[in-house]
């Protein structure tokens, strides 16, 4: 039968290929979602800004890969430097700082610092996770301020009385509701959480914050604004 | 397209049909599984919401009953017991309320009520334990709180009925999914809680000795004096603080309108290649530095604890801070954060006047400074003479503690108050403790346990 009319099998094969293609599409979607959430700890690419970019630039500059200024902005110079670095270290030269590249650069990924043991360390870690989910990409001070808002809530009678209570209050933080929080925090979020726990409060005692470009909640707009840091408005 | 013009014979039709049917069955199976799983999760969520809600109702019932009893209690012991039960019930009520899937806006007043009842009853139970009877003012506030408990309970009972009849379901917010995240959705539960909030609109402000008392929340800074300064002057201050040699361009990023009004400044380093911009907030009134943070990377640790502490002290002296003494420190990420408190010429420690300095352990640079508490409380104080002698106070300390050192100290008390105490530092069971004995009436005001490890000292 195969020898006689091989052409007859073609529609059948086509259908199998279509199914296989569909299956592969679903699978690859799943894989990429896995990868991006894994790499969520540090994923810097063209257009990223902030202290983590600065860290990458400083290191690349020290090793002679990067010639530009350390400005915390991931532009083409940074991308090229990252590519050069990746080539030299046998990594995929895509110009994106994911987990593997970050490790090669010697930048601490969040998971490494989850150790410790005292409850204060664990508190700092949870706080950092929330900060990372809510404010990665914001300037460092903005990250400290977000952590400070959480701590200000703990001290306010209108909110739950523990850090975990405030963070997990239903609907309180978008990053908690949509699960973005459950990633290892970056080093800058961890540092910010510790600074806030040590008492620094750049928010000026704020209890709420919002990104005016993303919020349609009328109630929050009516709150008196205390401070503007990065993209966030902090208010009472 | 030659491919599609091809004819399939019977056998091949058969094969295709089998493959398609198998796929369909698989998909159906998968769908059903997902559906039942989702149902299970929903039920689980629903149940835990129900539990929180029912527990909340019970808690409020108990609060109301306990407050009713407290109104007619005449002995301090009995009121103290009633008040500590109220404290526990309102704490648990607030916990349960915080777990309901309702936006914060519709329950902030209820939450505040519950937390204040708890906080207030705690301070009353402490008074009762000191054999102090409740004052008329306390009684008045208790009956007001009891009336609100009644109102709250009425609404909760109405909701409970609706829930029992299945008219309200919790977690309807969850069902609507993402939309609800962006917009405060108005579902039945929210509306009911909105009603409760309206009833709380005339809720009086409570004044008592506790951290959630309204006068504490609205406390004003005491350490700010002088005229308002201009932005130029603030920039000058910032430059001086960071160091003339290091500071480059200074821009105003954001002014603060919190409890202390500030100019938010960003100081760029002179040598752009080296270092980060430094953030610094200068108070509008008086031009004091409120806080400073330099988030630069600190790759290594070279300084010893002693060297770091010397650097911090030298810095404070240069900035014109007078009598301060170092208390505890905390190390992380190659920095050490040292806490300083005020001290008088006679050696009385002033704990409310608290400053923090963060030293980079690679070169001793000051990378952080926080004076919020100092500016909130620092002023010229008249320190009273202690009524008790050291010997008398020592008798009040537990005999289990081996006292090593005694000092006089002013400590912060609930309700923005301060109290002169004897501070006894001692050891029990290999742990260090601080015990504070009121220098006026000899009562034991506070006990702190000290946790020490290589990364610093903490009090609990």
Cβ B100 vs Cβ B163: under 8 Å = no
Structure letter (DSSP) for residue B185: -
Cβ B53 vs Cβ B170: under 8 Å = yes
Q: Which residues of A touch B293 (CB under 8 A)?
A: 140-141, 144, 195, 200, 202
Q: Which residues of B touch A165 (CB under 8 A)?
A: 95, 98
Which range among B102-111, B149-158, B312-321 shows the weakest confidence by mean pLDDT? B102-111
Which range among A11-15, A64-68, B114-118, B266-270 shows the weakest confidence by mean pLDDT? A11-15
The beta-carbon neighbor of B295 closest among A51, A161, A228 is A51
**Nearest partner of B393 among B419, B418, B422, judged by Cα:** B422
- How far is residue B413's CA from residue B417's CA, in Å, rounded to a whole number? 5
Q: Which residues of A touch B260 (CB under 8 A)?
A: 204
Which range among A144-148, A207-211, B240-244, B270-274 shows the weakest confidence by mean pLDDT? B270-274
Structure letter (DSSP) for residue B251: E
What is the percent of chain A where pLDDT is above 70? 83
Task: Say which residue, A73 or B193, is predicted with more confidence.
Answer: A73
pLDDT digits (tens, 9 = 90+) for B33-79: 999 998 888 888 888 888 888 899 999 999 999 999 988 888 888 88
Q: pLDDT at position B172, please?
A: 58
| Residue entry with tokens 């902005």 | A73
CB contact under 8 A, B254 and A195: no
Cross-strand partners of B358: B337, B368
Q: Both ends of chain B: CA-CA distance in Å?
A: 80
Cβ B76 vs Cβ B132: under 8 Å = yes
Q: Write the CB contacts of A72 (distance below 8 Å, at least 6 apart in sequence).
A: A49, A50, A51, A53, A54, A57
Distances in Å between the Cα of B39 and the Cα atoms of B33, B36, B167 are 10, 5, 19
- How far is residue A179's CA from residue A152's CA, in Å, rounded to a whole number? 23
State the nearest Cα–Cα gap between B161 and chain A, in angstroms: 23
Instruction: Please list the alpha-helical segments (H only) found in B130-267.
Output: 136-164, 172-176, 178-182, 188-199, 214-217, 231-242
CB atoms under 10 Å from CB of B74, counted, come to 8
pLDDT digits (tens, 9 = 90+) for A162-188: 888 888 888 788 888 888 888 888 888
Between the ranges A179-193, B14-28, B179-193, where is the mean pLDDT highest? B14-28
Over residues A98-122, the mean pLDDT reads 59
Query: What pTM, to 2 d.p., does this model score?
Result: 0.74
CB contact under 8 A, B297 and A55: yes
| Residue entry with tokens 């293609």 | A21
ipTM: 0.81
Q: pLDDT at position B422, please?
A: 92
Q: Write the CB contacts of A188 (distance below 8 Å, at least 6 apart in sequence).
A: A50, A51, A52, A55, A136, A140, A143, B295
- How far is residue A139's CA from residue A229's CA, in Å, rounded to a whole number? 8
**Nearest partner of B339 among A182, A69, A91, A200, judged by Cα:** A200
Distances in Å between the Cα of B440 and the Cα atoms of B76, B190, B381, B435, B436 are 22, 51, 17, 15, 12
- Helices A119-135, A187-197: crossing angle, 10 deg rounding: 120
Task: Say which residue, A25 or B221, is predicted with more confidence.
Answer: B221
The beta-carbon neighbor of A216 closest among B102, B182, B458 is B182
Q: Write the CB contacts of B290 (distance below 8 Å, at least 6 apart in sequence).
A: B256, B260, B262, B281, B282, B283, B370, B371, B372, B375
Q: Are strands B402-413 and B349-360 parallel, antiparallel or unpaired?
A: parallel
SS3 call for B450: strand
- Whether B224 shows a pLDDT value over 50: the answer reads yes
Q: pLDDT at position B49, please?
A: 86
- Whether B389 shows a pLDDT value over 70: the answer reads yes
CB contact under 8 A, A216 and B217: no
Q: pLDDT at position B211, please?
A: 66
CB atoms under 10 Å from CB of A224, counted, come to 9
- Whether B241 shows a pLDDT value over 80: the answer reads yes
pLDDT-derived band at A20, boundaries 50, 70, 90? confident
Q: List the structure tokens of A88.
A: 């030299």
Task: Give the neighbor-by-neighbor strand order of the sheet with A232-235.
Answer: A208-210, A232-235, A225-229
Q: Are strands A232-235 and B431-438 parallel, antiparallel or unpaired?
A: unpaired
State the nearest Cα–Cα gap between A139 and chain B, in angstroms: 10
**Nearest partner of B212 among B140, B117, B279, B124, judged by Cα:** B117
Residue of B nearest to A222 (CA): B105
Task: Say which residue, B131 or B30, is predicted with more confidence.
Answer: B30
**Cα–chain-centroid distance for residue B242?**
30
Over residues B195-217, the mean pLDDT reads 69
**Cα–chain-centroid distance for residue A146?**
14
**How many CA within 13 A on the CB side of residue B78?**
10
Which range among A223-232, B75-84, B190-199, B417-426 shows the weakest confidence by mean pLDDT? B190-199
Instruction: Please list the alpha-helical segments (H only) found in chain A.
Output: 10-38, 51-62, 76-88, 99-105, 119-135, 140-154, 163-167, 174-177, 187-197, 218-221
Distances in Å between the Cα of A4 and the Cα atoms of A148, B13, B386, B446 are 77, 18, 113, 97
Q: List the structure tokens of B304.
A: 């010893």
Q: A66 — alpha (psi -120 to 50), left (phi > 0) or beta?
A: beta
- Whether B121 shows a pLDDT value over 60: the answer reads yes
Over residues A103-117, the mean pLDDT reads 52
pLDDT digits (tens, 9 = 90+) for B289-341: 999 998 888 888 888 888 999 999 999 998 888 888 888 888 888 889 999 98
- How far is residue B421's CA from residue A103's CA, in Å, rounded to a whole number? 53
Over residues B96-122, the mean pLDDT reads 84
Cβ A189 vs Cβ A128: under 8 Å = yes
The beta-carbon neighbor of B259 closest among A140, A160, A205 is A205
**Nearest partner of A128 among A182, A178, A179, judged by Cα:** A182
What is the percent of chain A where pLDDT is above 90? 9
pLDDT-derived band at B1, boundaries 50, 70, 90? very low
CA-based radius of gyration for chain B: 31
Q: pLDDT at position B29, please?
A: 92
Distances in Å between the Cα of A198 and the Cα atoms of A169, A221, B172, B338, B441 are 23, 30, 39, 10, 34
| Residue entry with tokens 């490790």 | A103
The answer, for A219 touching chain B at a CB cutoff of 8 Å, is yes
Phi/psi at A182 (nearest 5 deg)? -80, 55
Q: Which residues of B touch A161 (CB under 8 A)?
A: 91, 94-95, 115
**Nearest partner of B324 among B332, B316, B335, judged by Cα:** B316
- Whether A115 shows a pLDDT value over 50: the answer reads no
The answer, for A113 touching chain B at a CB cutoff of 8 Å, is no
Q: pLDDT at position B369, please?
A: 93
Distances in Å between the Cα of A192 and the Cα atoms of A139, B251, B378, B414 are 10, 22, 27, 29
Over residues A47-56, the mean pLDDT reads 76
State the nearest Cα–Cα gap between A225 and chain B, in angstroms: 7
* SS3 per residue for B315-349: HHHHCCCCCEEEEEEEEECCEEEEEEEEECCCCCE
| Residue entry with tokens 């977690």 | B171
Over residues B90-97, the mean pLDDT reads 90
Cβ A158 vs Cβ A172: under 8 Å = no
- Whether B185 shows a pLDDT value over 50: the answer reads no
Q: pLDDT at position A72, please?
A: 78
CB contact under 8 A, B91 and A169: no
pLDDT-derived band at B187, boundaries 50, 70, 90? low
Cβ B73 vs Cβ B82: under 8 Å = yes
**Averaged pLDDT score across all residues of chain A:** 78
Over residues B216-229, the mean pLDDT reads 78
| Residue entry with tokens 């420190």 | B329
Q: Which residues of A touch B8 (CB under 8 A)?
A: 8, 11-12
Which range among B112-126, B181-195, B223-237 shows the weakest confidence by mean pLDDT? B181-195
Q: List the structure tokens of B443.
A: 């009562």
**Averaged pLDDT score across all residues of chain B:** 83
- Whether B359 shows a pLDDT value over 90: the answer reads yes
CB contact under 8 A, B295 and A156: no
| Residue entry with tokens 């199976």 | B29
- Whether B86 shows a pLDDT value over 60: the answer reads yes
């Amino acid at each position: 039968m195969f020898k006689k009319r091989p052409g007859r099998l073609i529609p059948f094969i086509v259908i199998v290929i279509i199914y296989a293609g569909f299956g592969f599409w679903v699978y690859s979607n799943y894989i990429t979602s896995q990868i991006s959430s894994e790499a969520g700890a540090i994923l810097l690419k063209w257009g990223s800004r902030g202290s983590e970019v600065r860290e990458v630039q400083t290191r690349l500059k020290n090793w002679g890969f990067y010639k530009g200024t350390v400005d915390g902005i991931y532009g083409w110079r940074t991308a090229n430097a990252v590519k050069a670095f990746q080539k030299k270290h046998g990594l995929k030269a895509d110009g994106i700082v994911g987990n593997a590249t970050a490790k090669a650069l010697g930048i601490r990924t969040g998971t490494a610092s989850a150790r410790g043991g005292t409850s204060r360390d664990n508190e700092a870690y949870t706080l950092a996770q929330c900060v990372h989910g809510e404010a990665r990409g914001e300037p460092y001070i903005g990250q400290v301020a977000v952590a400070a808002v959480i701590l200000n809530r703990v001290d306010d009678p209108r909110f739950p009385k523990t850090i975990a209570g405030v963070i997990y209050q239903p609907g309180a933080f978008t990053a908690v509701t949509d699960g973005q929080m459950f990633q290892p925090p970056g080093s800058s979020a961890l540092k910010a959480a510790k600074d806030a726990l040590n008492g620094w409060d750049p928010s000026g005692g704020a209890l709420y914050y919002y990104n005016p470009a993303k919020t349609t909640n009328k109630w929050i707009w009516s709150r008196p604004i205390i401070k503007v840091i990065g993209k966030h408005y902090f208010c009472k | 397209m030659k491919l599609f013009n091809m004819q399939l014979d019977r056998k091949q039709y058969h094969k295709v049909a089998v493959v398609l049917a198998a796929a369909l069955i698989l998909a159906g199976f998968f769908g059903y599984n997902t559906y039942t799983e989702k149902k299970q999760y929903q039920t689980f969520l629903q149940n835990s919401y129900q539990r929180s809600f029912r527990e909340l109702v019970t808690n409020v019932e108990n609060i109301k009953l306990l407050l009713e009893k407290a109104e007619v209690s005449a002995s301090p012991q009995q009121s103290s017991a009633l008040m500590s039960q109220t404290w526990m019930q309102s704490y648990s009520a607030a916990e349960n309320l915080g777990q309901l899937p309702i936006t914060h806006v519709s329950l902030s007043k209820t939450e505040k009520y519950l937390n204040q009842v708890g906080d207030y009853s705690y301070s009353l139970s402490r008074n009762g334990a000191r054999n102090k009877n409740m004052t008329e003012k306390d009684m008045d506030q208790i009956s007001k709180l009891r009336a609100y408990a009644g109102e709250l309970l009425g609404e909760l009972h109405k909701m409970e009925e609706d829930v029992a009849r299945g008219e309200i379901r919790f977690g309807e917010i969850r069902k609507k999914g993402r939309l609800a995240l962006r917009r405060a959705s108005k579902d039945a539960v929210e509306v009911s809680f909105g009603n409760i909030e309206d009833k709380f609109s005339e809720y009086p402000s409570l004044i008592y000795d506790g951290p959630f008392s309204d006068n504490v929340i609205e406390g004003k800074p005491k350490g700010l004096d002088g005229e308002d300064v201009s932005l130029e002057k603030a920039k000058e201050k910032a430059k001086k603080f960071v160091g003339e040699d290091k500071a480059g361009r200074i821009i105003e990023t954001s002014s603060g309108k919190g409890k202390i009004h500030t100019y938010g400044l960003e100081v760029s380093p002179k040598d752009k290649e080296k270092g980060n911009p430094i953030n610094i907030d200068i108070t509008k009134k008086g031009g004091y530095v409120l806080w400073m943070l330099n988030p630069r990377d600190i790759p290594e640790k070279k300084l010893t604890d002693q060297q770091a502490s010397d650097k911090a002290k030298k810095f404070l002296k240069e900035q014109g801070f007078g009598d301060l003494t170092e208390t505890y420190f905390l190390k992380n990420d190659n920095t050490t954060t040292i806490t300083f408190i005020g001290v008088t010429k006679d050696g009385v420690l002033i704990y409310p006047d608290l400053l923090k300095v963060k030293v980079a352990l690679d070169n001793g640079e000051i990378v952080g400074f926080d004076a919020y508490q100092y500016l909130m409380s620092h002023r010229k104080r008249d320190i009273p003479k202690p009524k008790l002698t050291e010997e008398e106070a020592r008798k009040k300390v537990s005999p289990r503690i081996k006292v090593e050192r005694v000092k006089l100290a002013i400590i912060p008390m609930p309700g923005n108050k301060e109290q002169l105490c004897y501070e006894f530092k001692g050891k029990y069971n290999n742990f260090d403790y601080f015990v504070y004995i009121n220098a006026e009436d000899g009562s034991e005001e506070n006990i702190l346990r000290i946790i020490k490890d290589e990364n610093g000292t903490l009090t609990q």
